Chain A
Amino acid sequence: DQQVKQNSPSLSVQEGRISILNCDYTNSMFDYFLWYKKYPAEGPTFLISISSIKDKNEDGRFTVFLNKSAKHLSLHIVPSQPGDSAVYFCAASEHNAGNMLTFGGGTRLMVKP
């Protein structure tokens, strides 16, 4: 049973518009959440993270929102650029779970010029 789910396998948006990627989790012990971006033939690269004590974290064009009661987080990219086209993975960890990150299945974002 997947503890972290990204229900949209793909998303297509126009350049300049907002991209919203969603992620749901079931494990209430998760207390730290991360988003990774992955280009083809490369390893994932860290994008942005949020602790469960916050409900929002912003870094330039990227904002992550956390709704703990709904066990839901989302990544907003504004404005979207063609270079943002990649697969985005949501990941979660428990404070006392050592080195374990639990990943969602990923969402492929395509930003059209």
Chain B
Amino acid sequence: NAGVTQTPKFQVLKTGQSMTLQCAQDMNHEYMSWYRQDPGMGLRLIHYSVGAGITDQGEVPNGYNVSRSTTEDFPLRLLSAAPSQTSVYFCASRKAGGNEQYFGPGTRLTVT
């Protein structure tokens, strides 16, 4: 099992550009989430999904879109990047009914 994989590892964007952060898991987990990590703030939930076709907003959803067309994939889209979105982004998954989340290695995004 590869677990949770994320691409790319690093990305630099100019303000206003768009991009998609990819996330995939091979554990057949129902739940998937996106977090951002900023210094001193811990990890904050952006969006999450409880199954294919179902998504919901987390604590900091503005500026981000998600979709969940398959169980395995949960991409995060930035439609118009802003410097405030400079952060490290983590994708996570877990089994329905479980509490332990499995995290990917992260994507470090810089918006200039």
Is B53 interfacial (CB-CB < 8 Å)? Answer: no
Contact A98 B43 (CB under 8 A): no
Interface size on B, as a range, is 20 to 34
Give the contacts of A64-113 with B (CB-CB under 8 A): 89, 91, 93, 98-106
Known: A42-B106, A44-B90, A49-B100. A100 touches B48 (CB 8 A): yes
Query: Known: A41-B106, A42-B106, A43-B104. Contact between A103 and B42, CB under 8 A?
Result: yes
B111 within 8 A of A: no
Are A43 and B41 in touch, CB under 8 angstroms? no
| Smallest beta-carbon distance A12→chain B, Å | 18
Inter-chain contacts of A32 with B (CB < 8 A): 99
Which of the residues A34, A36, A101 comes within 8 Å of B45, measured between beta carbons? A101
Q: Which residues on B sit within 8 Å (CB–CB) of A89?
A: 42-43
Taking the closest CB of chain A, its distance from the CB of B32, in whole angstroms, is: 8
Is the pair B58, A100 in contact by a Cβ cutoff of 8 Å? yes
Of B99, B104, B105, most buried by chain A (CB within 10 Å of CB) is: B99
Contacts of B4 in A (CB 8 A): 43
| Residues 27-66 of A contacting B (Cβ, < 8 Å) | 32, 34, 36, 41-46, 49
Q: Contact check: which of A42, A93, A102, A105 meets B105 at CB < 8 Å?
A: A42
| B54-88 near A? 1/0 per residue, CB < 8 Å | 00101100000000000000000000000000000
Given contacts A45-B103, A46-B102, A103-B35, 9 further A-B contacts (CB under 8 A): A42-B106, A43-B4, A46-B101, A98-B50, A99-B48, A100-B48, A100-B58, A105-B42, A106-B40
